[in-house]
Amino acid sequence: MKINQTTEDDITQEVLRRFQGTADPRLRQIMQSLVTHLHAFVKDVQLTEGEWWKAIEFLTKTGHMCDANRQEFILLSDTLGVSMVVDLLNHRKPTGATESTVFGPFHRDGAPERATGEDITGIAKGGTPTLVEGRVLSLDGKPIQGAELDVWQADPEGLYDQQIAGIDGVNMRGKFHTDREGRYLVRTTRPVAYSIPDDGPVGQMLRAANRHPWRPAHIHFVISAAGYEPVTTHLFDSVDKYLQSDTVFAVKESLICDFKVENGLCKCHYDFVLKPKAA
C-alpha cells in the first residue's frame, strides 16, 4: 500500500479527511476548521520543534494553575481577546439594549439574596461608600418588576473573595430584585482598578509581550427576568486610566458611567435595558 503523506499539505488534507466521518455535523465543522487554521498557523510562522514543545509546556502549566478558586484558562481566553469575540458573536443586541461583556473568572454561585439598598461590602475595609441605582427596563421603556441583578465586585484592595485566604463564605456579592417600578439599589464601595492574577503562565505571557495585567475599575452584573434574554455586563468608572487598555478588551463605551462623589458618598445611576427572548 502506498502512502502519499509526503508534504505538510498532504498531512493537513489527510487529517481533514479523517474527520469527514464525524457524525455530528457541527463537531465536524469545528474540528475541520480547527485543523485547517492550526496547521496554517504552524506553516505561517514556520514553528520549530522547540517552540511547539514550549507551547505544550505552557498549556500544561496553565491547566495546573486551575482549581476551584482559579481558572487560568479563562484568564488566557480573556487576555487573548477570545472571550470578547465569542461574546460579540453570541450576543448581538438591538439598538438600546444593554451591551454584554465578559463573564470573567470570579463569579461564584450562592451569592446571598439582598434587600433593596443592602450593603454588599461585608468584611471589606476602606473604599468610598457608593450607591448604584437605576431601573431595569424593556426596549420600549417599560419597567420590569422582579428582575434579578446578580452583583459581584473586587474589594477596595482589588481582590475578589476567593482570592483572600481565610474568608468563610462569600463577600462583595449579592442578588437584588427590582420593585414594581423596575428600580434597584445596591450599596457597595467605589470600584477600583486591579491586576488579574499574573503569577502563572498568563502573567508570563503578558510580561513577554510587554503588556500590563490591569483591568479598569468596574462592577459585575448579570441581569435576568422572565421573558427576557439575560445580560452579563459591567459598569466601568469613567475616570479610570485603564479604560483604553483593559487587559481583557472588555470595555464598551455604553457601559462607562460617572461615579460622582458628594460629601463622602459616591453615586452612580444606570438603567439596564433587556431584550425580549426570541419566540
In a domain, 253, yes or no: yes
The reply to whether 23 and 138 lie within a common domain is no
Q: What pLDDT, on the 0 to 100 scale, is given for residue 69?
A: 83
Is 222:147 a contact under the CB 8 Å cutoff?
A: no
The reply to whether 23 and 95 lie within a common domain is no
In a domain, 52, yes or no: no
The reply to whether 109 and 164 lie within a common domain is yes
Spell out the per-residue pLDDT of the chain, length 279, in tens.
566 667 999 999 999 999 999 999 999 999 999 999 999 999 999 999 999 999 999 999 999 999 988 899 999 999 999 999 999 999 988 999 999 999 999 999 989 999 999 999 988 899 999 999 999 999 999 999 999 999 999 999 999 999 988 887 889 999 999 999 999 999 999 999 999 999 999 999 999 999 999 999 999 999 999 999 999 999 999 999 999 999 999 999 999 999 999 999 999 999 999 999 986
The reply to whether 131 and 39 lie within a common domain is no
In a domain, 248, yes or no: yes
The reply to whether 190 and 100 lie within a common domain is yes
Q: How far apart are CA 225 and CA 254, in angstroms?
A: 21
The reply to whether 110 and 28 lie within a common domain is no
Is 189:156 a contact under the CB 8 Å cutoff?
A: yes
In a domain, 66, yes or no: no
Q: What pLDDT, on the 0 to 100 scale, is given for residue 1?
A: 55
Q: Rounding to the nearest 10 degrees, give the CA dihedral for residues 233, 237, 242, 246.
A: 0
**DSSP classification of residue 276:** B
The reply to whether 139 and 226 lie within a common domain is yes
The reply to whether 169 and 266 lie within a common domain is yes
Residue 24 is which amino acid?
D
The reply to whether 218 and 252 lie within a common domain is yes
E strands, 33-92, in order = none
Output phi, psi for 268, to 5 deg.
Answer: -140, 135
Q: How many domains does the chain have?
A: 2
The reply to whether 35 and 157 lie within a common domain is no
The reply to whether 203 and 158 lie within a common domain is yes
Instruction: List C-alpha distances in Å: 72 to 52, 80, 117, 203, 229.
Output: 20, 12, 34, 10, 28
In a domain, 3, yes or no: no
Give the domain range for residue 18: 8-47
Q: What pLDDT, on the 0 to 100 scale, is given for residue 3?
A: 65
Q: What pLDDT, on the 0 to 100 scale, is given for residue 213?
A: 98
Instruction: Name the pTM for this structure.
Output: 0.92
The reply to whether 14 and 129 lie within a common domain is no
Q: What pLDDT, on the 0 to 100 scale, is given for residue 278?
A: 83
